[in-house]
Amino acid sequence: MKRAAKIFFGAGAWPSIAIYWGLMLGLNFNIFQATLGALLYAVGYSLIAIGGGRITKLDYGVVLFWTAGLGLSLFTQSFSQLYLLRYFTTFLYISLFLMAYLPVVFGAEPFTIAFAKRTTPEMFWETDLFITINRIMTLVWAGLFLMAMLITLIPGVITQIIIPIVLVMSVGIPFTMKFPDRYLEAKGMGGMKALAEPAASSVTSTASTPAGIPAVVSGSGDQERKTVAEKLGSVKNVHVVFGSPRNKRGFTFKSLDRFLDGIRAGGITPEIHFLSKYKIRPCTGCYTCWTKTPGVCIQKDDMTVLNEKLEGADLIVYAQPLYVFSVPGITKNFLDRRIPILEPFLIENSDGSTRHPHRGKGTNCRRMLIFSVCGFPEVDHFDGLIKMFRLMSRSGQTPIIGEILRPSSESMRFGERIGGSYQRIMDAFFEAGRQVVTQGYVSRDTEQDISQPLMPTVQGFRQMGNRFWNTWIRYEEEKKAGKELPQFEEYLQADMGMFFGGMASVYNPAKAGDFEGIFQFDIAGDQAGKCYLQIKDKQCTFNEGEAENPGIIIHTPWDVWLSIGQGEISGQDALMQGKYTVDGDLGLMLKMQEIFSS
């Protein structure tokens, strides 16, 4: 029975073609009757396949082909003969081309995914890597169907039947078998077999740290990190201890999720533990877990469950925002309550320092990664937090394989407006996650890419930040006064000061050179008012009101300039169409585009 089902689903809706020609040539049915018989089989198979989770878009393509043929045979004999006799294979390949190409164009699931899922572990199905590979393969198949269709336009059995089939079989099938491995190898991930190894062995991880591995590799170069990664082997499972009280609402999670996308693309599904959702009481310092009830805390809360979940972890990612130069309180409570996994005795560490031994095998993770964001623009604000984790690393003999630090994180909410630097940072988050899986550590260059300045000058960042907080305070005051307001994000986007303050913050002195000048804006509409940007001494400042002797005055409705700033319309096109006007030196418009860019 299982063998018969395998053959049935393996054949798909294609037997409908044999049914059609069998009815036409063997039983002398007319075109309508033969087409109806073929369509009934194709539809019947598709319904069964949908119920069994085996339907593919190619099956839908066959149904589409017969449905169109049946319609033609009902209403026009001449066209139905062209469709179902003379150019039978041509229109069949057109149907297959549409079913392959259109889903990719409109962002739907590529047709090859249905086949790939039959041989690929489920943990890979939602990864960007799996989807990208199948999208490329689907486009190649669409090209093959299109080529086959063009060949069938030439009359003859060889050109209409044999050559298209040979093309599809000799090119399409070998390509499908070999392309995933070639693609992964080009990305430095080995083949599909190598990619699956971390996930396949995730249940066999141990927490012991092999001898000779340095405890702290965070401050060292790539070569030292590489040595540690080679000794530890590939990362097998990832647990994230997430210490933001805002859970998924803040930028900590947004940036972390992009980093985890890189890990997921490597075939590992991280497990995230949101500490704010657990009940974790503070440590009382009673030492009961070291004396009266060794390994067992007096507090009866969720910490026992968390310790059990983290037992045998291959990599723990400590992710949190920076709170007063250290971790948030919920993270500190969690770290304090990990004391029961240690014994009270004092032993000598590998570097000569004193530490506590672990209570037993499987209680400590094999490696750590530190992930944190903060609102300040300078990276050195993380020094206290990093120092604490490095001491933990040394004492616990647990190497740090990456320190991912993102300053000026609150401003990332304006990422789309900031432009290039934002996208480069988000790409670097993904690359860091990919490196964790492919090489076992995050390179120093990638860490620096993540920490790169979001805006060209600190002064511009401070000005933008202050404008943001003043806008938020004004928003709350207006709400308390009973004024009907939109959501804060919408209110923020519509604020003229935030918009032009944002322009000032992305002023690029390197591109401006020795240029000095004033750009005056005369705004009409919802945000009517006057303001100007002044560039002097390689600094750009936003000011409200009118400037003396501006180099250029831009008269524009607010909605027009907002659309230009958001990239919805071209500033040059809008000017040519008279949507806004300019007084003064038009050459400064070109200069503006150059110097206000990230």
Domain that holds residue 154: 2-199
pLDDT score for 435? 95
Contact 492, 498 (CB under 8 A): yes
Determine, yes or no, domain membership for 582: yes
Distance (Å, rounded) from C-alpha 438 to C-alpha 399? 17
Q: Which residues, in sequence order, are bridge partners of residue 556? A: 523
Q: Per-residue confidence at 558, pLDDT binned at 50, 70, 90?
A: confident
- Measure Cα distances from 5 to 8, 52, 54, 121, 483 in Å: 5, 10, 11, 22, 66
Q: Check whether residue 22 and residue 165 sit in a common domain.
A: yes
CA 224 – CA 314 distance, rounded (Å): 19
User: Residue range 388-395: average pLDDT?
Assistant: 89
Question: Pairing relation of β-strands 517-524 and 400-406?
Answer: unpaired
Q: Provide the token pair at 18.
A: 């044999």
The tokens for 31 are 């075109």
Residue 206 domain flag: no
- From 132, 165, 199, give the residue that closes a domain: 199
Q: What is the pLDDT of residues 489-545, one digit of tens each?
A: 777 777 777 777 777 777 777 788 888 888 999 998 877 888 888 888 878 888 888
Same-domain status, 410 and 534: no
pLDDT tens, residue by residue, 468-486: 888 889 889 988 998 888 8
Q: Do 473 and 446 share a domain, yes or no?
A: no
Q: For 29-56, give the DSSP string.
A: --HHHHHHHHHHHHHHHHHHHHHTT---
- Statement to judge: residues 300 and 438 lie in one domain: yes
174 and 306 in one domain? no
Residue 400 to residue 216: CA distance in whole angstroms: 6
Q: What CATH number did the domain enclosing 399 receive? A: 3.40.50.360
Q: What number is the average pLDDT over the span 124-136?
A: 75
3-state secondary structure of 271: strand
User: Which amino acid belongs to residue 154?
Assistant: I
Q: What's the structural domain count of the chain?
A: 3
Q: Are residues 394 and 506 in the same domain?
A: no
- pLDDT tens track for 3-25: 777 787 778 888 888 888 888 88
Q: What is the pLDDT of residues 166-210, one digit of tens each?
A: 888 888 888 888 888 787 677 554 455 544 444 333 333 333 333
DSSP conformation class of 529: E
The encoded tokens of residue 328 equal 């948030």
Contact 496, 531 (CB under 8 A): yes
Tell me the β-bridge partners of 370.
318, 403
pLDDT of residue 218: 44
Domain identity same for 109 and 131? yes
User: What confidence category does residue 26 fall into, taking pLDDT thresholds of 50, 70 and 90?
Assistant: confident
Residue 226 resides in a domain: yes
Torsion of CA 580, 584, 587, 588, to 10 degrees: -80
Average pLDDT of the segment spanning 446-475: 79
pLDDT at 135: 87
* Shared domain check, 135 and 56: yes
User: What percentage of the chain has pLDDT greater than the value 70?
Assistant: 88
**Count of alpha carbons within 13 angstroms of residue 94, beta-carbon side:** 15
Q: What is the pLDDT of residue 207?
A: 34
The β-bridge partners of 205 are: none
If asked whether residues 256 and 368 sit together in one domain, one would say yes
What's the whole-number mean pLDDT along residues 319-345? 91
Q: Is there a single domain that holds both residue 386 and residue 482?
A: no
Tens of pLDDT along 29-75?
888 888 888 889 888 888 888 887 788 888 888 888 888 888 888 87
Asked whether residue 478 is domain-assigned, the answer is yes
pLDDT, averaged across the chain: 82
pTM above 0.85, yes or no: no
Average pLDDT over residues 443-460: 80
CATH number at residue 548: 3.30.1050.10
Instruction: Round to whole Å and give the CA distance between 244 and 170.
Output: 54
pLDDT mean over 355-375: 83
pLDDT of residue 457: 63
List the single range of 122-126, 349-353, 390-394 with lowest mean pLDDT: 122-126
Do 414 and 361 belong together in one domain?
yes
- Look at residues 114, 115, 134, 141 and name the one whose alpha carbon lies nearest to residue 183: 134
Cβ-Cβ contacts under 8 Å for 562 (sequence gap 6 or more): 494, 499
Token pair in block for residue 191: 């083949």
- Return the ∠ at Cα 69 (arms to 67 and 70), rounded to 5°: 65
Q: Examine the domain organization and report whether 394 and 414 are in the same domain.
A: yes
Question: What are the helix (H) ranges across 76-207?
Answer: 77-81, 88-105, 112-116, 128-151, 157, 163-167, 173-186, 192-200
pLDDT of residue 181: 79
Q: Which residue has the tokens 């009266």?
A: 292
pLDDT-based confidence at 364, cuts 50/70/90?
Answer: low
Determine, yes or no, domain membership for 209.
Answer: no
Q: What is the mean pLDDT of residues 533-560?
A: 86
Looking at this protein, which amino acid is placed at residue 281? R
Segment 213-265, tens digit of pLDDT: 444 444 467 888 888 888 888 999 999 999 999 888 888 998 999 999 999 99
Confidence class of residue 124 from pLDDT cuts 50, 70 and 90? Answer: low
pLDDT at res. 406: 92
What pLDDT is stored for residue 286 in this prediction? 92
End residue of a domain, out of 199, 234, 263: 199
Domain-located, residue 137:
yes
Residue linked to tokens 């550590």: 441
Indicate the residue among 407, 427, 451 that finishes a domain: 451
CA distances to 166, 181, 512, 566 from 562, rounded to whole Å, are 56, 46, 23, 6
What is the rounded radius of gyration, in angstroms, for the C-alpha atoms of the chain? Answer: 32
Is there a domain that residue 280 lies in?
yes
CB neighbours of residue 2 within 10 Å: 6
Whether the CB-CB separation of 366 and 314 falls below 8 Å is answered with: yes
Quote the CA–CA distance of 62 and 45 in Å, as a whole number.
11
In a domain, 231, yes or no: yes
pLDDT at 309 over 60: yes
298 closest CA partner among 321, 318, 317, 281: 281
Q: Copy the structure tokens of residue 412.
A: 């990332």
